[in-house]
Amino acid sequence: MSEDRRFALGCFRATALPVGGEQLFGLPVARRRLATTTGSFTRALHRHTGHPVVVRRLSEGWRSHQAGQWPVPRGTRVWTRRVRLESGDARVEALTEVVGPLSPRLRRAITGLADTPLMEVLASQPCCRRLSFRVHREGRRVTRETVYRIHLARVRVTEWLDIDLR
């Protein structure tokens, strides 16, 4: 089975277009296809630009839902990771937030990502399901927000990309 097919069969059983996709009709087809990809965004960016994708970590760590409370119960902590994907001239900012009780397997996978694309981890998790997929366009900026559920944990991935309208 090819790797792309494995990704499609993992978290992404429902490959429906995102909510808000009608806002993208003014974009060129290749850029609209990139913004609405339902599989691995890193792989889609590589196919779009034809260059390798470099994942640069900007920040990563645990935080609490409510600042100012100490100690923070383990169940209310949120793991966040902010990265920049660079491929050719393209720059995409992405934020991942993981909320809820994490299984030991998911905790090790998420906190040990380093520069690994997130979808490789999500596709390898049992019981991963995509709950929502939304796209919003404001001028040149396109925002993609996807929420996954892995057992009781929720994983929200938000990507911001600037689209050149030429």
pLDDT at 7 over 70: no
55 contacts 85 by C-beta, under 8 angstroms: yes
Question: Both tokens of residue 101?
Answer: 């009780």
CB atoms within 10 A of CB 66: 8
pLDDT at 158 over 70: yes
In this prediction, residue 156 has a pLDDT band, given cuts at 50, 70 and 90, of: confident
> What would the pLDDT profile of 91-105 be if each residue is shown by its tens digit?
888 888 888 777 788
- Predicted confidence at residue 51, as pLDDT, reads 92
Least confident of 57-61, 112-116, 147-151: 112-116
> In which order are the strands placed within the sheet that holds 141-150?
54-64, 77-87, 90-99, 153-162, 141-150, 128-138
Burial status of residue 110 (CB atoms within 10 A of its CB: 0-12, 13-18, 19 or more) = buried
Chain centre to alpha carbon of residue 115: 13
Chain centre to alpha carbon of residue 142: 14
Question: Both tokens of residue 134?
Answer: 């939304």
User: When comparing pLDDT for 54 and 162, which is higher?
Assistant: 54
- Predicted confidence at residue 165, as pLDDT, reads 47
In this prediction, residue 17 has a pLDDT band, given cuts at 50, 70 and 90, of: low
Residue 29 Ramachandran class (φ > 0 left, ψ -120 to 50 alpha, else beta): alpha
Burial status of residue 65 (CB atoms within 10 A of its CB: 0-12, 13-18, 19 or more) = exposed
> What would the pLDDT profile of 18-74 be if each residue is shown by its tens digit?
777 777 777 778 888 888 887 778 888 898 889 998 888 888 887 765 544 555 555
Instruction: Spell out the CATH class of 3-162.
Output: alpha beta
SS3 for 82? strand
Beta strand 128-138 with 141-150 is: antiparallel
Domain residue limits, the chain: 3-162
- In this prediction the pTM is 0.74
